[in-house]
Structure 1
Amino acid sequence: MFEALRKMILPIIIIVLFFFLGMIVLQWGLDITRRGPGANFDAAGMVNGEEISWSTFQRTYSNLYQNERGDSDEDIPISRTQQLEGQAWDQLVGELLLRQQADKYNIVATDDDVYLYLRSNPPAYLRQAAEFQTDGQFDYQKYMSYMADPQAAGLWASIEPVVRADIRKIKVQQLVTEAVHVSEFEVKQAFLDAMETIKVGMVNVRSSSLYETVPVPEKEEAREYFDSHREDFTVEERVVLDIVKSSKQATEFDEERARITAQEIQDSANAGADFADLAMRWSDDVGSSANGGDLGWFASGRMVGPFDSAAFAMKEGEVSSPIKTRFGWHVLKHFGYKNEAKSQSDPAVVKKAHVAHVLIKTRASIETIDQAWNQIDQFHMLAGEEGFDAAADELELEVIRTDPHIAQSRIMQLNGDQEALEWAFSNELGAISEIRETDNDYYVIRLAEKVPAGLAEFEDVESDIQKELRTEKLMRLCRDTINVLHKKVQKGTTLTKAAEELELKYDISQSISRAGGMPQVGSDPKAVGAAFALTTVGQISEPIEYSAGTVVFELLQKDTPDLTLYNDKHDSVFTAVVDFKKRRAYTDWFEHLIAQSEIISNVTGEVRRR
């Protein structure tokens, strides 16, 4: 069929399609997220010697950006755009790796494959196309009619390469997972795990409940522990950074400009302009602007302080002067008051106001951002010519020195920008970065110090030791408390009575399964396993120390699965187990594939070699 379609191609349309295959694992954390400022590379990167062009990267990123933004007029924060850039890069790397594997194993998509795929599994972008919908819903019959229509040959021919690429990826996945085997034992065990339920009583002493009773260990105790475990305390290589920032945040000038805009809106409304039109055109409140700024009826106390005060002080028909809140400048129009019952269950009468508003947010102006850029750009140039400190002194900019940081830490002064640390660990002492940015600042960093890995000094680990010692004491107290309880039970006291005597809480769970976890202990495998190991109603477990404390269980009810249902459920359970094992097999394979590949990213400059 597709051979015939290719012969009937009509130069009618060119369709640009962005198709992202929603398979098990494509987007992996390669820690490659962003092109550094000033970079000038011919390609976004390479995967095993094959280029990913900047245009391909930009198309993929733009699609993710538009999907994230949706219909909102709000800008996406810099920190989130960096994440989207990373997702775009990871996605392209995943797509290319799969295509390379398809080439390696000579995997092809035949014409029959393409036809059957389109017929049995219409892609989402086709399901959403207006040509294939009736009353807003995908119309399969209309879709099939298009497939048979020679006049639509251009459409199908333009889609064909994308579909063939998708089919090849699917076949790679099938090749990877075809060896997955599921035994009858695994199916039955999965059935039992899902269907077996228990109801337990428990006394659970969590370390968090005793936190205030155990003080932070004194410095002398921490020092004694440090000295006796000296070899246990090592530190990774760390870096110290010097940071110079230039703020992009709104200035007093920007604040005043927002107030003037709000004042102009008030003047326009008082001069006769339609308030709803003003709100739809000017308001930054995306939740109400489409409705002419109408906020409906609300009682006092529902809005932020200054707004609320004004709303209940105005007269019907009045337009307010600009009101400042933490959200920006508001201009209110009042439509009146009414009294009504607080709720159906509370007949108390409350006064409500009906108000519309225009919100003008205070944003950094283009001039403010340009000024910030010019300042940091001048600093960066001078730092290269005269030195980092001299440039900061000349421009009267503060140099912020950080504490030592390991590679996985978070630098609060840079809003946790992980790329700054990646840059620092890959450069030499004294190196000066390109200009970087966070949501609030432009900044330049200098690698001030590299602290080699080795044995830690006490001052570096003192707080960690104190936390560890305190945790040990808390867990020991949990264990000792439950042991006292358990000894009482062993001497014949019921668990409920023993808990009462020790002023501990005895809780009864709902009916729970292994997969659902347990109240208070969550899904901790040690605790859950101990509870399900109980076989006889009334049986009490040994004290179980788990990640958050110590617990003891009493079996109150155990519902063994009805094995007569096993045959009925067998196929669905088998499918679920197969799917799980295939996902795990594919995940492991894909992770290994990444580890064995040479990936060079000009998005951040990172290189991942075999």
Structure 2
Amino acid sequence: MLQKLRDKTSGWFATVVLALLTVPFAFFGMEQYLFARNVTFAAKIEAPPQWWPSAPQWWPVTMLWQREEIDANDFKNAFEQARQQQRQVMGEQFDPQEFETMENKRKTLDRLIDEKVLAMAAGRAGIAVGDAQVRDAIQAIPAFQVDGKFDAQRYQLALSAQSPPMTPQTFQQRIRDSLQQSLVPTQLAQSAFVTAAETERLLKLLGQKRDVSFVIVPPAAEDTAPVSDADAQKWFQDHQAEYRAPETVTIEYVDVDGSTLPAATAAMSESDLRKRYDEEIKAGRFVEPEQRLTSHILVQVPAGADAKTQKAAEDKAKKLDAEARQPGADFAALARANSDDAGSKASGGDLGWVTKGNMVAPFENALFAMKAGEISQPVKSEFGWHIIQLREVKTGQQTPFEVARAQLEKESGESERERAFNDLTTKFYDQVLKNPTALAPAAASSNLPVQKLGPITKDAANGQGIAANPAVLRAAFSDSLIQDGTVSDPIEIGPNHNVFLRVTEHSPERAQTLAQVKDKVIAAIRADRRHKAAEAQADAMVAKLKAGESLATIAAAQKLAVQDVPGLPRTAPVPDPAATKAYFEAPAPAAGKVSPGKASLPDGSIVVFAVTKVTPGDPKEAGEPERMQLRQQFGQLIGTEDATSLVEALRKRMKITVAEERL
């Protein structure tokens, strides 16, 4: 038998079969044995060699392809950064569970892919970033600057504070890579421009006005016709996603509200109140500061002025000071005629009532050393020379203890209430830690009631009581509380106001039967019928307008009022922004014709309109600053679109593989 098997496999036919099997094995299987490795990428980007753009993905040709990978850990770090940024933006409204969607994950991954694609394209194009560019970019980062200048010590400290710490070499390489991948799209975006002819056309479009006539077709009458079981079943099958029961939880909670606690266990003694009063006086409280009614004349000295200019300013100040001291001199008139202080010149140098801490030190020192009615010698400050007139002094006044007493007693009570709240919260939490799966024992030890709420959904807008608080909902729908049944940490819902909660029941989102939602289905079918009836009426009116009938005739037949609006601009919501948008999307009417259309309004009514005339905007009405701003804005828009198109084109030339199971 063995001899027969040997004879069958040693002939020419067996040789041919073996050769044919070797070919696919060589091209499609060999690399799996030769280059086996542990795959951990979240995305892989592959590009054919530049000298062979159409190279097939066959082994061994694939060995010539360039490959870059985005590691799953790198993606997780980037996604966590995106999460933290969103948390900072949304604050208490941030929901970690809602953020954990595949859509958000793909957005983060696509950003990383774009960066990798640009880096590969830059490297393949031979684009390099010099050391000088890297150095300039680092020195321009505000976090590394002190008083607007690069500080090497702050640079080192900032890098060492990273988690994990980063070496300058690593950071420099990151900056180099970032500059390399952003160089082409940035330069492309900055090179965009808008020509003078394009600016004229934009001004004509933006300033365009249209003569419009319209009628408002009211919502159709209520639909009361019966809905068959077959229609209900079909609608339910077509819209099943709309009739899913939302995820709900039922909770029990304890409300620890400091405002309900007694103000104080005992009133403060007279001696304690007086002691507190004395301490507040020393701290500057209950004391009205001294005020001085002041005028001045300023002789300004420009920054960096030479000695000659400074001497001239000083001489002028001395001359004005001498004039102000003359018997019968009018200080206000001198200030109006000579002061360089634009803020007080018109009012005769009047600075109003001045207290300590409001003026620069030289001015203030001189002012508070004067007596009422005096005029100072010229005083030099960073602004120049001042001639100061002290017109009146209002001495500081101290609030008597008898007046301050009520405020001190109130504050003492609030402090006691806050202390009592903190003690109660701490005591309650200690009891929770002893029995983390029950609220009742901790509530009983603190003499607080356990309340129940639910079922509730994640929608804070429809929540009642504490269920309207985003922080409460985040805790109630967290996996840890749902799965473990433990009591939450204290959740702050206001000043000196915490709640502790525990999830007692949980119902995941689920499909419902037609029987459970039949009333809603019937209401939706009737609303759809009503909408379609209004649409049909509006479509018939538009068809008549296209056939040449006038809007006035059509409206009169249906007892609707026509409104004529000549010269309507783009920015006017008449009667609604959606309607105005439709007016300007309609084509310009031909001579002697109208351009009809319709637009649905939020209340269910429909606007049927006819555009009768289009008047282009007049570019001459725009000044040069407006033109410059328009060119700049549209240039940036075009540049951004060009850069986006570049990335999209580069991605099409490469093969991108995404491993969603690792996201």
What is the TM-score with the length of structure 2 in the denominator? 0.45
Q: Which has the larger radius of gyration?
A: 2
Report the structure, 1 or 2, having the larger helix content: 2
What is the TM-score with the length of structure 1 in the denominator? 0.48
